[in-house]
A and B are shown apart, each in its own frame.
Chain A
Amino acid sequence: EDQVTQSPEALRLQEGESSSLNCSYTVSGLRGLFWYRQDPGKGPEFLFTLYSAGEEKEKERLKATLTKKESFLHITAPKPEDSATYLCAVQAKGSGNTGKLIFGQGTTLQVKP
């Protein structure tokens, strides 16, 4: 069964304290892995797509990496405005052309000034 697990569930950092969020996945062939940011009471906002092991993407203080079993979202010198829930999702080759995504439960990040 295709599955996505994120850890930790919650993470509290001081401003400037770098860390990483983990997304472990088990799928029957990976078509793509997606990272989203979600603020309270709002819809998720797209951050990155990764397709193959070794691939990396960066945006401001965020950097996403991918291996054959997991993805990391590295946050460098975070600021309070980075506080949000970060969602990881995968699209399996077995999903055909349906576009279905399988989501992890998310990591809630709090950055204190």
Chain B
Amino acid sequence: DGGITQSPKYLFRKEGQNVTLSCEQNLNHDAMYWYRQDPGQGLRLIYYSQIVNDFQKGDIAEGYSVSREKKESFPLTVTSAQKNPTAFYLCASSIRGSRGFGYTFGSGTRLTVV
């Protein structure tokens, strides 16, 4: 079945450590997105990519980095520069420039700072 796989489901980060969240899709979607979800707030866009080897900053990109070397993969690195990384991270994909297809979401990664 086609879908988006995020791993790990739970991740713990120590102070000063970089961690990478994995996102893989087999939907043949061109566009991929990373959102952050905090309690009581809407999803906020971190980074997005429309095509391989190209990506753009979203609304809250500081302290995060991404790569898009393959169409299927869009990993997110949470760097030590992100001072408040504890959150639920969601990866999504869609048909590029689509009108009306919306997103397919992964199951999320919960990141906690210890």
Number of interface residues of B (CB under 8 A): 32
The reply on B65 being an interface residue by CB < 8 A is no
Size band of the interface chain A makes with B: 20 to 34
> Which residues of the partner chain B approach A41 to less than 8 Å between Cβ atoms?
108, 110
CB-nearest residue of chain B to A106: B42
**How many A-B Cβ pairs are below 8 Å?**
73
Evaluate contact between B102 and A101: CB separation under 8 angstroms: yes
Are A4 and B42 CB-contacts (below 8 A) given A41-B110, A43-B106, A98-B48? yes
Evaluate contact between A101 and B96: CB separation under 8 angstroms: no
Evaluate contact between A103 and B43: CB separation under 8 angstroms: yes
The reply on B97 being an interface residue by CB < 8 A is yes
In the complex, chain A residues 23-52 whose Cβ is within 8 Å of any chain B Cβ: 31-32, 34, 36, 41-46, 49, 51
Are A46 and B103 CB-contacts (below 8 A) given A97-B50, A99-B94? yes
Evaluate contact between A99 and B43: CB separation under 8 angstroms: no
Evaluate contact between B105 and A44: CB separation under 8 angstroms: yes
Evaluate contact between A99 and B98: CB separation under 8 angstroms: yes
Evaluate contact between B97 and A32: CB separation under 8 angstroms: no
Contact of A49 among B41, B50, B100, B110 (CB under 8 A): B100
Residues in chain A within 8 A of chain B (CB atoms): 4, 9, 31-32, 34, 36, 41-46, 49, 51, 87, 89, 91, 97-106
User: Considering the complex of A and B, which 3 residue pairs feature the smallest CB-CB distances, nearest first?
Assistant: A97-B97, A43-B105, A103-B42
